[in-house]
Chain A
Amino acid sequence: MNKTELIDALKEIAKPYIQDEEAFQHVTEATNFIDDLKINSANLVDIVLDVEDKFDILIEDDEMERMLTVKGAMDIIISKMDV
């Protein structure tokens, strides 16, 4: 899976939770889930669960703390998939 595909996959996962449609149309690696997409912080745990399901990986608490941006999420996913 290349970077564009990965971003698209993350967008698909984030879609039900976003509250800023405009920002969602322009997602980049720098996009912050809470600040930019206005996702309720409580829903971040749901996104983590959806990421786990989608990529068949397990995400630890300290890793979750680094998943605040699209880039952060991508890094974690890529590192897990390499293993």
Chain B
Amino acid sequence: MNKRVVITGLGVVAPNGVGLENFERAIKAGQSGIEYFETLKEMKFSCCIGGIPEVSEELKLAYLTPLQLRNFTSSGILYACMAGIDAWKDAGLTFAEEEPFWDSGCIFGAGISGVEKMREATYKLDSGKVKRLGSTTVMQTMASGVSAYLGGIIGLGNQVTTNSSACATGTEAILLAYERIQAGKAIRMIAGSSSEHGPYIWGGFDAMRVMTYKHSETPTKGSRPMSATASGFVPGCGGGALILETLESALARNAKIYAEILGGAVNSGGQRIGGTMTAPNSVSVQRCIKAAIHNAGIQAEDIDLINGHLTATVKDPVEIQNWVTALGRQGKDFPYIHSLKSMIGHCLSAAGAIESVAAVLGLKNNFIFPSINCDDLHPEIAELIAKDRIPDQIIDTDKVDIVAKASFGFGDVNSCLIFKKIAI
């Protein structure tokens, strides 16, 4: 029989809160982490707002040694280490001394690593100074840097790897880790993802005109999922991590249990029937949601809350339509639905992990965080679901038993997870 998999630790570095407590306080209050950045303006960005977690030099030293921080510019790896170590400690676990933890591993996703480092290296290379790159260029720019740093700090002896599937990365990482534990190949996994910050990551999106350019004066109003005036996403960054382990192991060591993962699914639309490199096809999105429900062994009507992908682009009504069709539920019968991106923007490869941390926190601590900046609900969405399905204030409730979390990414890839309040 497959192992039951539970979540025993959480860690998060988000634009509106660094560390679990700050993050929980912020999302309960509907607090935005979006700011205006003069540097983006100077670099001629159309979108000059974004979300960057506030991390002091002193705080970095709580996670990495001065030697590790020497010539260290990879914000994605930093966020991964902070979120991963926090989650590990939150689960009541310690670092390995000599012998690694053979049954513990890590699947930690990234879109790209060390883009600042790569920029620095490129300048040196192009001026014939290859030797001046030093020893840290490879480890900070390899995609698997995020998992490699974490694996070494904690002493993980099971699979240590990095997945990458654009904005679906974090959700996929959790599913991959879940499947590994369920199959009996590991007892405990760190699952999550991070995303680097700044102009060298965000520039390409700005060039594609998919980010909003309308909110330089009103940054906290800029990220408007499901709103009639949504005008493109707001870029964010950060990291999120979850400790997944067998229910057996969690009970044996008397660990705090946040929630259970009932199952999930990933698929791709193959960039066919309307899907493209940058847009999901609705058929595959609906199939992914249905497959997750089937895999979790629940019914569509069991879902109490949807933690959507909902990026604040013109595609939000399409996503709602896909949920309506996949679940066969609409109007007042539709589950609650919200988007964390309303507060932290679109954290790209980190989105799925940070949003999953929020979903699990809500389940455990009996609240539904508000979806802000949606006072002017998009009329196409209003035709599909009742407005009160989108909380604009926190709802304190212990009646949410099952949350569905989905993420959709470039390349026409989809992932969906089903979390459940723990019942042993």
Interface of B is mostly: loop
Residues of A within 8 A of B66 (CB): 16
Q: List 19 A-B contacts (CB under 8 A).
A: A16-B66, A16-B67, A16-B70, A17-B67, A42-B135, A43-B67, A43-B135, A44-B135, A45-B131, A45-B134, A45-B135, A46-B70, A46-B71, A46-B134, A46-B135, A46-B136, A49-B131, A49-B132, A49-B134
Distance A16 CA – B72 CA, assembled complex (angstroms): 13
Q: With contacts defined as CB atoms under 8 Å apart, how many contacts are there between chain A and chain B in the complex? A: 19
- Given A16-B70, A45-B135, A49-B132, list of 16 further CB < 8 A pairs? A16-B66, A16-B67, A17-B67, A42-B135, A43-B67, A43-B135, A44-B135, A45-B131, A45-B134, A46-B70, A46-B71, A46-B134, A46-B135, A46-B136, A49-B131, A49-B134
Residues of A10-33 contacting chain B, CB below 8 A: 16-17
* 4 closest A-B pairs by CB: A42-B135, A45-B135, A46-B134, A46-B135
Q: How far is the CB of B39 from chain A (nearest CB, A)?
A: 28
Residues of A within 8 A of B132 (CB): 49
Residues of A within 8 A of B67 (CB): 16-17, 43
Mark B220-239 against chain A: 1 for CB-CB distance below 8 A, else 0: 00000000000000000000
Mark B356-390 against chain A: 1 for CB-CB distance below 8 A, else 0: 00000000000000000000000000000000000
Q: Can you name the residue of chain B whose Cβ is closest to the Cβ of A18?
A: B67
Distance A51 CA – B364 CA, assembled complex (angstroms): 54
Distance A16 CA – B135 CA, assembled complex (angstroms): 14
Residues of B within 8 A of A17 (CB): 67
Residues of B within 8 A of A49 (CB): 131-132, 134
Q: Can you name the residue of chain B whose Cβ is closest to the Cβ of A59?
A: B131
Q: How far is the CB of B215 from chain A (nearest CB, A)?
A: 43
Distance A44 CA – B66 CA, assembled complex (angstroms): 17
Residues of B within 8 A of A43 (CB): 67, 135
Q: Can you name the residue of chain B whose Cβ is closest to the Cβ of A58?
A: B131
Distance A11 CA – B132 CA, assembled complex (angstroms): 21
Residues of B within 8 A of A45 (CB): 131, 134-135
Residues of B within 8 A of A16 (CB): 66-67, 70
Q: Can you name the residue of chain B whose Cβ is closest to the Cβ of A60?
A: B131
Residues of B within 8 A of A42 (CB): 135
Q: Can you name the residue of chain A whose Cβ is closest to the Cβ of B69?
A: A16
Distance A74 CA – B164 CA, assembled complex (angstroms): 47
Residues of B within 8 A of A46 (CB): 70-71, 134-136
Distance A25 CA – B111 CA, assembled complex (angstroms): 43
Residues of B125-151 contacting chain A, CB below 8 A: 131-132, 134-136
Residues of B114-133 contacting chain A, CB below 8 A: 131-132
